[in-house]
Amino acid sequence: MKRSEIPTPYLMIKANTNSEWDYCDFAIISLSEDWKKEQQKRIENIKPFSDDYMLLSMIYSDASITFYKDDNEICLDSTDLLEDRIWSFVKLDEETREKLSVPENRLTSHTLHVFKSGYALYQTYGKHTGEDFWTEDFPLEELIKNDTNLTN
């Protein structure tokens, strides 16, 4: 897995958990054309409410993401790979992706919070523990509209 300066089908983003025993360091979002079209619809859905100062976000069920933790084999340190960025495109093949380490919790109820600012974050929970796992905010609108000229 390598960071890429040009858009790829995979976006690596910093992630966290409130678990006292499990770990989560990053997540990978699969950026298919269908995903981008769906996100564009979601951004359009929230725009009519942009003047409502009480509205924070719209929440959608979305499992286009997998949460991972750093390990001693494939991803030694996601912070080094991201080079102090919150997110980055990465070059990744399926064989490598299958070898990445996942949290011990069985994660369920994946949601995407779309903010009226055009940013978003993913969130999920441990099925049996209720522990929270989430990504950092990322510029969803910028990502789907200008995926060839992004800065992060």
The DSSP-derived string for 40-69 is HHHHHHHGGGTT-TT--EEEEE---EEEEB
Position 114 scores a pLDDT of 97
For the chain (length 152 residues), average pLDDT per consecutive 10? Answer: 91 95 94 94 93 94 93 75 90 89 94 95 95 96 68 46
**Which residue, among 34, 37, 143, 41, has the nearest Cα to 87 in the 3D structure?**
143
pLDDT given for residue 36 in this prediction: 93
- pLDDT, residue 87, reads 95
Residue from 26, 21, 25, 14 nearest 126 by CA: 21
How high is the pLDDT of residue 149? 43
C-alpha to C-alpha distance for 72 and 29, rounded to whole angstroms: 22
Q: Please give the pLDDT value at position 50.
A: 87
Position 145 scores a pLDDT of: 78
- Say what the pTM is: 0.90
pLDDT at position 21 is 95
> In this predicted structure, what is the pLDDT of residue 150?
46
DSSP H or E stretch at residue 87? strand 87-91
The whole-number pLDDT of residue 119 equals 96
Query: Which tokens in the block code for residue 147?
Result: 């995926």
